[in-house]
């Protein structure tokens, strides 16, 4: 198991640790550019994707306009949005 642990702070200021297991997950390399969002290539089990900075800014804007931000869902939602733009 490859754990990834980081600190989170909720809106009321309470801090807690969050650990995610990253084994068994798909591996991706993102190249953030001003170009279009697309999959460049697939090297075995590692996908290389070009991700548009505009798509990331759009997603951030959408999340900031919401009343509630669910920290636990941020990474999952970001990946699912990118996957909709770049089919696997």
Tens of pLDDT, residues 21-75: 766 667 788 888 888 888 888 777 778 888 899 988 888 888 777 766 666 666 6
**Alpha-carbon gap, residue 76 to 52, rounded angstroms:** 18
**Alpha-carbon gap, residue 77 to 80, rounded angstroms:** 5
Domain count, the chain: 1
**Alpha-carbon gap, residue 77 to 19, rounded angstroms:** 17
Is residue 74 included in any domain, yes or no?
A: yes
Is residue 13 included in any domain, yes or no?
A: no
Query: What would the mean pLDDT of 2-27 be, rounded to a whole number?
Result: 76
Please say whether the beta carbons of 49 and 37 come within 8 A: yes
Residue-number span of the structural domain to which 61 is assigned? 27-85
Is residue 21 included in any domain, yes or no?
A: no
Q: How far is CA 44 from CA 58, 60, 87, in A?
A: 30, 31, 16
Look at residue 85 and tell me whether its pLDDT is greater than 80: no
Is residue 45 included in any domain, yes or no?
A: yes
The residues pairing with 69 across neighbouring beta strands, listed in sequence order, are none
């Amino acid at each position: 198991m490859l754990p990834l642990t980081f600190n989170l702070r909720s809106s009321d200021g309470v801090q807690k640790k969050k650990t995610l297991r990253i084994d068994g997950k798909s591996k991706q390399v993102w190249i953030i550019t001003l170009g279009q969002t697309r999959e460049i290539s697939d090297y075995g089990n590692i996908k290389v994707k070009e991700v548009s900075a505009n798509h990331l800014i759009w997603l951030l804007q959408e999340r900031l306009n919401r009343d509630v931000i669910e920290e636990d869902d941020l990474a999952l939602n970001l990946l699912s949005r990118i996957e909709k733009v770049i089919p696997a």
